[in-house]
Structure 1
Amino acid sequence: MEKKNQFKTISEGAIKLMAPENYFIKGPGTKTAGFYNMDQKLNRDITISFLKTVKPKLALDAFGGTGVRGLRINREAGINTVISEINKKSFDYIKINKEINNSNVEIYNKTFQAILNDYLFDYIDIDPYGSVLPYLDEAMINLRNRGYIGVTATDLTALTGSMPAKTLRRYRAHIINDIYRHESGIRLLISEIVKRAAAMDKAAIPVISLWHSHYYRVIFQLVSSAGKADEQLEKTGIFDRQVGLANEYKSTIEGPLWLGNLNSDLISKLNYMDNPDKLFLKTIEKVKLNDLSTYFADIADFARITNQDTKAVEASMEKLRENGINCGRSQFSDTGIKVSSSVSEALHIIY
């Protein structure tokens, strides 16, 4: 193991841990032993808030790194937690961090597949470096009925269509890489999850969905029911921007995508966080608006395609509210507005 002075003691939530001196503050970083990414703190904060709300009996942090997620789940949500880590050096760091926090988490130096053979979990957290697809099927098989799975996807080049060949190869889909790409990308990820679950006669129901920085985060509930699985499949399909946004857009064929809600009613309860920071509160506020409209109205993009001057976001929302339309800023674009009307109606009121 590296010398102690190559590491730094840091605090996150209710725990302290030893992390590499060169831990990553922004972006995905590079996967290394003892991997710790500060940019994922929001991800972990929202996970803790969610788990304190639903209170599963047994949780799995399947890709431990420093153990920060599993240790926080155990300490802050009060949930029996298992941490698994295949890398031996990372496993040694998790042992140190378990001791530092006097934690009763169970830790194992095992593969994802091996740890799933030993337990039946109520919550499984999948946060690999890259695509979550190689791990989805086995997680779904080894989850208790009506349990939850949280996935963190960092393969945004495929999900946003910036590498079309990879998007087609990995997700068998077409995504337009423009200002709407992150809402399309997260809907593509959910569509894939829903289809894989349905093949097992299970319904995957999104509970929380968000984009932040270099990753998408989706937490979904899995319900064993062929009928409910069919209902979920009916909510996947092709998105046409001329139909779904406004007639001024060219007709498009994008997807297949998830066209249902990105969140469940549970999102309204996610304020359950000790000493939440500004980023957590701001993000939750935006995420709660996800399902006002299937897509957002982007005032800058509409101005571009109609050759008009861009309107200010706050003034545009004030005008919408004057016309009886509930609205708020979208998490997917700085110039995007989620609206309770159709996107077309909102855009034509603004312009």
Structure 2
Amino acid sequence: MSHLALRQEGQVKFYVPDPEKYGGIYSAPVFYNPAMEKNRTLSVLVLKSYGAGLTVCEPLSGSGVRGIRYAVESGSVGRLILNDISKEAVEVIKRNLELNGVDAEVYNEDANVLLHKLKNTCDVVDVDPFGSPAPFLHAAFRALKEEGLLCVTATDTAVLVGRYPRKCLRRYGSVMRKTPFYIELGLRNLLGYIARVAASEDFYIQPVLSYWERHYFRVCVYSVRGARDADDVFHNLGYVMYHRKERRVTQFPSQHTSGPLWIGPLGDPLLVHRMSAFDKYKEFLQLLELEYSVHAPWFYKLPEFAVDGKSPTLREALLALKEAGIYATTTHMASDGIKTEESYGEVRRVLAGVI
């Protein structure tokens, strides 16, 4: 392939189609999005903290940079499987593997076909599509061993938060209401869908990392096969009611609820703590660790507590809540957001004294 440009990300150098020659990254014959560097770097840290000698499959590889970074940087990969339905992408993948001295099995197949062929052989499957991951999840679970890690990116965030209600219902089987904390509900919508697919494939899931970043949601879930364990998934599924600024979890839908959603933990604080020892995203990971310790499936935005148009600052709010004996933390999902397990009414009562 002509018109290739050399790039570097992390410890890996690689070729991608030069976006200047093709009119941008979305017009290039092989897709590579530099804005996803954080996604890939955090994923490397997950693998580094997860295990060693792993069989890792990336069924939608594009340029192959994610899988190659796994092999070079994580120290966890024993067998690497890369795939793309595009022949041009496969050509670039092979060139990038050679450039970095990495061995991998490279396929040129439909992602779902390959995942079905890999049934019960993978420790890690990373589904990173352009758009929705929904079409690939059943096959991804079937490719996992009895225990494994499924990592998923979703860039159809507008659908997941409910901006397109019919598409959300059709694609994810959920109904989403307008709320100030719609980003968290969108993330939990994705996890809820993954959990239901997992259960249908006799898997139980436990999120180890999940977060929102501008134009995508990213989740990594530890998965265990077993019908009895799969039944336990439903303890972590439910609906979130939002009415007159109050929030609560319910097991039944109504005109004020969003769901079904994942209402369990968003991640593993201990794993995220280990991850934070490695990288430039240390502050972000430390914030996630704090957020994961708050189990309420929502957050509050400070303008919700405004009096005469004036809201408390983050510092004022956190200090007032701490002095009242209420644990609260900031959230990566809103610059003016706080997470706490206290009710809206109680938080409002405390913050009224600082406005």
Instruction: Tell me, yes or no, whether TM beats 0.5.
Output: yes
From 8, 29, 34, the counterpart of 1:33 = 29
Q: State the one-letter code of the partner of 1:210.
A: Y
State the SS of the aligned residue for 2:334. Answer: coil
May I ask how many residue pairs the two structures share in their alignment?
336
CA distance in 1, matches of 2:139, 2:327: 41
After superposition, the CA RMSD in angstroms is: 2.4
CA distance in 1, matches of 2:118, 2:175: 38
CA 1:299 to 1:90, structure 2 compared with 1: closer, same or farther past 3 Å?
same
Q: State the one-letter code of the partner of 1:138.
A: A
Does residue 1:300 correspond to 2:303, yes or no? Answer: yes
State the SS of the aligned residue for 1:185. Answer: helix
Equivalent residues of 2:240, 2:297 under 8 A apart: no
Does residue 1:58 correspond to 2:61, yes or no? Answer: no
Equivalent residues of 2:179, 2:242 under 8 A apart: no
Deviations 1:271-291 (A, max 9, x none): 253xx22xx223212222333
Greater CA deviation, 98-107 or 185-194? 98-107
From 1, 5, 8, the counterpart of 1:8 = 5
CA distance in 1, matches of 2:30, 2:58: 14
Q: State the one-letter code of the partner of 1:94.
A: I
- The alpha-carbon deviation at position 104 of structure 1 amounts to 1.7
CA 1:20 to 1:245, structure 2 compared with 1: closer, same or farther past 3 Å?
farther
Deviations 1:39-76 (A, max 9, x none): 11111111111100112521112211111100000011
Q: Percent identity?
A: 29
CA distance in 1, matches of 2:213, 2:25: 15
Deviations 1:259-307 (A, max 9, x none): 111112422322253xx22xx223212222333132112112343xx76
- The alpha-carbon deviation at position 31 of structure 1 amounts to 6.6
CA 1:8 to 1:167, structure 2 compared with 1: closer, same or farther past 3 Å?
same
From 276, 285, 292, the counterpart of 1:271 = 276
CA 1:310 to 1:271, structure 2 compared with 1: closer, same or farther past 3 Å?
same
1:182-193 matches, within 5 Å, as 182-193=183-194
CA distance in 1, matches of 2:148, 2:127: 14
Greater CA deviation, 237-246 or 283-292? 237-246
- Structure 1 stretches lacking a partner, 5+ long: none
Q: State the one-letter code of the partner of 1:76.
A: E
CA 1:14 to 1:195, structure 2 compared with 1: closer, same or farther past 3 Å?
same
CA 1:125 to 1:315, structure 2 compared with 1: closer, same or farther past 3 Å?
same
Does residue 1:290 correspond to 2:291, yes or no? Answer: yes
- The alpha-carbon deviation at position 19 of structure 1 amounts to 2.1
Q: State the one-letter code of the partner of 1:296.
A: F
- The alpha-carbon deviation at position 344 of structure 1 amounts to 4.1
- The alpha-carbon deviation at position 166 of structure 1 amounts to 1.0
Does residue 1:110 correspond to 2:114, yes or no? Answer: no
- The alpha-carbon deviation at position 333 of structure 1 amounts to 1.1
Counterpart position of 1:95: 94
Q: Structure 2 length normalisation: TM-score?
A: 0.88
- The alpha-carbon deviation at position 325 of structure 1 amounts to 2.5
State the SS of the aligned residue for 1:70. Answer: helix
Does residue 1:234 correspond to 2:239, yes or no? Answer: no
Counterpart position of 2:42: 46
Counterpart position of 1:259: 263
State the SS of the aligned residue for 1:17. Answer: strand
CA 1:290 to 1:232, structure 2 compared with 1: closer, same or farther past 3 Å?
farther
Counterpart position of 2:163: 162
- The alpha-carbon deviation at position 36 of structure 1 amounts to 1.1
- The alpha-carbon deviation at position 226 of structure 1 amounts to 2.4
CA distance in 2, matches of 1:301, 1:106: 53
